[in-house]
Every structure is written in structure tokens, then in C-alpha cells.
Structure 1
């Protein structure tokens, strides 16, 4: 039985190893995800309630997910949203629905905390299963070139992205200007 709970400080070392393992053989990875998570934990963008781990019955951490604050900016306004990055599942636990459970639990908590949307860059066939659609449908773009189908967003509440168009502004820890 899998338990999803808030990540605690005692989990940091295990989570670091888990993220490194999860992305080790990923083609579209810079293999820096575990360092990004460490930086984000110390940032203003960090929301402790949205750093979650999936733990199996032996207390082993099988997965981790992190949602952090980001902004959507246009010439006249700035809107708050969340970035989902990264979702990590230990290789031996992959393809068992753990990532999906972490995503859905994260959405639920984010909604309770008053967030209205989540933005991510990810696999075009995976995230739509959870309600994500292209950011271009909302008039939202990224500050760098990506294939259109890989930039996605979800409204956590009805009309959560209505009239909130602009460019995604990541926290500085992402190293994107």
C-alpha cells in the first residue's frame, strides 16, 4: 500500500538519490534535476506542502513530486501559477501509476492552498491523461523554444487560466532568463 505524504528534511538524501536514478537514462534530461530540487527547496518559490513523496509499506520512498510557484506575465499584469517539475519515480516502481497518484494528490493540495493552475513541460502523451492541455490553448508561452505539444497547463479550478495569458516566468533557481 502506497502512502503519499509531505516530504520531510530526513527524506532529502533519499529523494536526491531517487531523482538521480529516475532521470539517469532519460533522453531529454540534463541530469541536473536532483540539484534543481535542492535549490528550489531553499527558494521563495518553495511550498513545503507541495513537495510530496510516495512511500511503500516498508517505508521506502518510491516517488517524489515538486510543485513550485511561478508567474505568468504580460505587458500589463502578472498572475501566479505553479510549475510541476520534476516528477520522479524510482525505476523499479515505474509504470505502476505512482507518478499519476503524486500528480493528482498534488493537484488536490494545490487547490486547497488556493492555487488555480499548474504549468509544465513534459511528455505530450502522459500529462493529458490528467487533464493537461497545450499552454498555447490559453495564450501562454515559454521564454524559450519548445515543441508546442510539450508545454502544458491545467486549470485546477473552473476558468483558472481564463484571460491569464502571457509568458511563463520561472523562479531564478531554474536558471532560465
Structure 2
């Protein structure tokens, strides 16, 4: 239910996708794909099989690649 609410709120804000760090077996069940498949990296070292993204709209990652940077509040 928490992931569903996250997706609802992200769509209301018109975010094209969600990035998440977590267990491969769990998040893949909810349609999350490895970020590396889209040439997207985290701004910190993480195992490739633990960093995911999920498109919120069809082809919303079509022209997206690179490093995702977080707000300063996450860096403290």
C-alpha cells in the first residue's frame, strides 16, 4: 500500500519516474526495473541489483539517463 501511495503522489506532482534503493526480489514484483538498464546511476555507491526505477507514464524514461541527485536533506 505504501508503494501505491508513493506512485499516486508522484503522478499528482507529474514526476516521470520513481527511483528506489532496495531488495531486488521485492521491488521487481511491483514493476521496478534496474536503473542501470536505463543508464541511470545513484550519486553514491550501491550494488547494481539494488537500485531501481519505475516509469510512471509510458516511455517517460525514453530520453533520461545519467546520475540522479537528491535534495540536500538526504545528504545529511
Output the TM-score relative to the length of structure 1. 0.41
| 2:5 matches 1:105 | yes
Query: Runs ≥4 in structure 1, deviation > 3 angstroms?
Result: none
Whose RCO is larger (CA < 8 A, sep 6+)?
2
Decide which structure has greater helix share.
2
| 2:18 matches 1:118 | yes
* Cα distance between partner residues in 2 of 1:168 and 1:116: 13
Runs of 5+ unmatched residues, structure 1: 1-100
2:59 corresponds, among 156, 159, 163, to 159
Structure with greater Cα Rg: 1
Indicate if the aligned counterparts of 1:104 and 1:130 stay in contact, CA closer than 8 A: no
Runs of 5+ unmatched residues, structure 2: none
| Total equivalences in the alignment | 76
Q: What is the CA RMSD across the aligned residues, in angstroms?
A: 1.4
CA positional deviation for 1:144: 2.0
CA positional deviation for 1:116: 1.2
1:129 corresponds, among 29, 33, 55, to 29
| CA displacement, residues 37-96 of structure 1 (integer Å, 9 cap, x when unaligned) | xxxxxxxxxxxxxxxxxxxxxxxxxxxxxxxxxxxxxxxxxxxxxxxxxxxxxxxxxxxx
Q: Mapping of 1:46-85 within 5 angstroms?
A: none
